[in-house]
């Protein structure tokens, strides 16, 4: 029996909430949930891989149905197998999806492919009967480290949210075991943002840290004005000051901001990542890279991005992906990334950890569940099962 993909399903789900960053609000945000159903059985049931597209881009049902699903299902199943012939080769599935796609101008097809790639890797690790992070570590000759740094992202603008609500939110993250928290900036005048930052720093005290995220809102002049304000504080990082493709802005900002900076969540290919490294003035001794595989052609492409980083002398430990999903937790534990984002109160049930996993001293420990581990998160798995039933 040749291992094969027998169906690919997609449903677009709301992940909306009344929050706002400096660039968008999330009142209409959606995400694609996909199921890749195989003919392999484990414990008497077909192996199904699941994926979803993180947050910040919308559901990709049109692209998935019109192009990528068809290419996976129309490919000769034997052409998608790895050397053992017992499992699917994610790189071959990736190449099949990307046939007849021209290079460059990545648009949102990277999101559609990233979502399916997540589901394919989930299926591949389940067929191998291993947690994805262990499979990745084995394939890359590394020792898996199931203990992963996570930070709590939030601090959004929200109608009627005052400083005491912001402080309560951040206190709540510390009480749940986080020691780094993140808040939005750039959605209010700089003096108001300074007050918000000071309020949060007073709340979290000197033993915890704060990162700030401008979501690409600033032109160079504003980014510099903020840098001069922010450098008064011991921040964990200053994130996405300017447009994600404005490498000149990012490089110039380093002259004004000696502390750590972070960016990359809106770069969707290894070529874009390479341009950031070549031209964005990012400093491998202190800055952070946030490429999110779910938005950027998946893990097959992320592995190419990690190769680019290596070529330029960057360690994978400088990567802390955007998106707060279990896929990036697996990559972190398997391939030695610096950690992962987490949104304790947002984008549920998609983000987060398997049930019972606790944050302790800003770290979680990955349980040994086959695949990405979605089956361990009951609210998420209920949505997934409904799609594959
Ligand atoms: O507000 C968003 O779009 C999410 C974001 O930037 C982040 O988590 O870093
Ligand atoms: Mg961000």
Per-residue model confidence as pLDDT tens digits over 172-227: 999 999 999 999 999 999 999 999 999 999 999 999 999 999 999 999 999 999 99
The reply to whether 106 and 189 lie within a common domain is no
Query: What pLDDT is recorded for position 338?
Result: 99
Asked whether the ipTM of the predicted complex exceeds the cut of 0.90, the reply is yes
The reply to whether 106 and 160 lie within a common domain is no
The reply to whether 193 and 98 lie within a common domain is no
Rounded average pLDDT over 253-260 = 98
Q: Which two tokens stand for residue 39?
A: 């003919």
Q: Report if residue 74 sits inside a domain.
A: yes
Q: Report if residue 162 sits inside a domain.
A: yes
Which among 98, 129, 160 is the end of a domain?
129
- CA dist., res. 375 & res. 82, Å (int): 25
For residue 20, the ligand closest to its alpha carbon is: 1
* pLDDT band of 325, cuts 50, 70, 90: very high
Other C-beta atoms closer than 10 Å to the C-beta of 325 total: 29
The reply to whether 233 and 118 lie within a common domain is no
Give the sign of the dihedral formed by CA 264, CA 130, CA 93, CA 45. Answer: negative
Read off φ and ψ for residue 301, nearest 5 degrees: -75, -35
Closest ligand 1 atom to residue 153 Cα is 8
The reply to whether 169 and 110 lie within a common domain is no
Question: Which CATH number fits the domain that encloses residue 281?
Answer: 3.20.20.120
The reply to whether 173 and 56 lie within a common domain is no
Quote the domain boundaries for residue 195: 139-388
Q: Which two tokens stand for residue 230?
A: 């922010």
Q: Report if residue 80 sits inside a domain.
A: yes
The reply to whether 101 and 161 lie within a common domain is no
Q: What is the pTM of this model?
A: 0.98
Mean pLDDT of the chain: 97
CB 293, CB 321: distance < 8 Å: yes
Note the pLDDT tens digit of each residue in 96-155.
Answer: 999 999 999 999 999 999 999 999 999 999 999 999 999 999 999 999 999 999 999 999
The reply to whether 261 and 362 lie within a common domain is yes
Which among 129, 161, 186 is the end of a domain?
129
Note the pLDDT tens digit of each residue in 21-41.
Answer: 999 999 999 999 999 999 999
The reply to whether 354 and 299 lie within a common domain is yes
Q: Report if residue 10 sits inside a domain.
A: yes
Q: Report if residue 256 sits inside a domain.
A: yes
- CA dist., res. 336 & res. 325, Å (int): 16
Q: Report if residue 248 sits inside a domain.
A: yes
Note the pLDDT tens digit of each residue in 65-90.
Answer: 999 999 999 999 999 999 999 999 99
Which residues, in sequence order, are CB contacts of 192 under 8 Å at separation 6+?
none
351 within ligand 1 shell (Cβ under 6 A): no
Catalytic option among 126, 270, 322, 377? 322
- CA dist., res. 48 & res. 384, Å (int): 9
Q: Given the structure tokens 């898996």, which residue do they identify?
A: 144
The reply to whether 175 and 265 lie within a common domain is yes
* pLDDT band of 1, cuts 50, 70, 90: confident
Among 55, 173, 290, 339, say which to mutate for ligand 1: greatest number of ligand atoms within 8 Å of CB.
55
Q: Report if residue 365 sits inside a domain.
A: yes
Query: What pLDDT is recorded for position 227?
Result: 98
Query: What pLDDT is recorded for position 363?
Result: 99
Which among 129, 156, 186 is the end of a domain?
129
The reply to whether 235 and 269 lie within a common domain is yes
Give the sign of the dihedral formed by CA 219, CA 221, CA 224, CA 230. Answer: negative
Rounded average pLDDT over 227-247 = 98
* pLDDT band of 306, cuts 50, 70, 90: very high
> Three-state SS for 238?
strand
Q: Which residues are annotated as a binding site for substrate?
A: 21, 55, 102, 156, 182, 239, 265, 322
Q: Report if residue 134 sits inside a domain.
A: no
Among 18, 21, 182, 243, say which to mutate for ligand 1: greatest number of ligand atoms within 8 Å of CB.
21
Q: Based on the structure, what is the number of domains in the chain?
A: 2
Question: Which CATH number fits the domain that encloses residue 10?
Answer: 3.30.390.10
The reply to whether 219 and 84 lie within a common domain is no
Rounded average pLDDT over 159-163 = 94
């Amino acid at each position: 029996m040749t291992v094969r993909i027998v169906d690919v399903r997609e449903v677009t789900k709301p992940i909306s909430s009344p929050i706002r960053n400096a660039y968008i609000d999330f009142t209409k945000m959606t995400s694609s949930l996909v199921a890749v159903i195989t003919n392999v059985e484990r414990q008497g049931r077909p192996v199904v891989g699941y994926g979803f597209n993180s947050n910040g881009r919308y559901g990709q049902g049109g692209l998935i149905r019109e192009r990528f699903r068809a290419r996976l299902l129309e490919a000769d199943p034997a052409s998608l197998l790895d050397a053992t012939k017992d499992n699917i080769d994610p790189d071959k599935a990736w190449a099949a999806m990307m046939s007849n796609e021209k290079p460059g101008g990545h648009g949102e097809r990277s999101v559609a492919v990233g979502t399916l790639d997540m589901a394919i890797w989930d299926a591949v690790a389940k067929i191998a009967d291993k947690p994805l992070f262990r499979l990745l570590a084995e394939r890359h000759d590394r020792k898996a480290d199931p203990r992963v740094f996570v930070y709590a992202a939030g601090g959004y603008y929200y109608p009627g949210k005052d400083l005491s609500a912001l402080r309560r939110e951040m206190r709540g993250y510390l009480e749940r075991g986080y020691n780094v928290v993140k808040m939005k900036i750039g959605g209010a005048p700089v003096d108001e943002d300074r007050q918000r930052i000071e309020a949060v720093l007073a709340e979290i005290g000197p033993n915890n840290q704060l990162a700030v995220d401008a979501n690409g809102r600033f032109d160079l002049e504003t980014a510099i004005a903020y840098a001069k304000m922010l450098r008064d504080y011991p921040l964990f990082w200053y994130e996405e000051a300017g447009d994600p493709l404005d490498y000149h802005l990012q490089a110039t900002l380093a002259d004004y901001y000696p502390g750590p900076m972070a960016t990359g969540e809106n770069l969707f290919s290894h070529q874009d990542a390479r341009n950031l490294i070549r031209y964005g003035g990012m400093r491998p001794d202190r800055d952070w890279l946030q490429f999110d595989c779910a938005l950027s052609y998946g893990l097959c492409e992320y592995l190419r991005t990690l190769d680019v980083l290596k070529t330029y002398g960057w360690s994978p430990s400088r990567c802390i992906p955007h998106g707060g999903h279990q896929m990036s937790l697996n990559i972190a534990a398997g391939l030695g990334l610096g950690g992962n984002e987490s949104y304790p109160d947002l984008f549920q049930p998609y983000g987060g950890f398997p049930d019972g996993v606790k944050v302790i001293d800003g770290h979680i420990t990955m349980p040994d569940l086959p695949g990405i581990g979605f089956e361990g998160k009951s609210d998420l798995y209920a949505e997934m099962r409904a799609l594959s039933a």
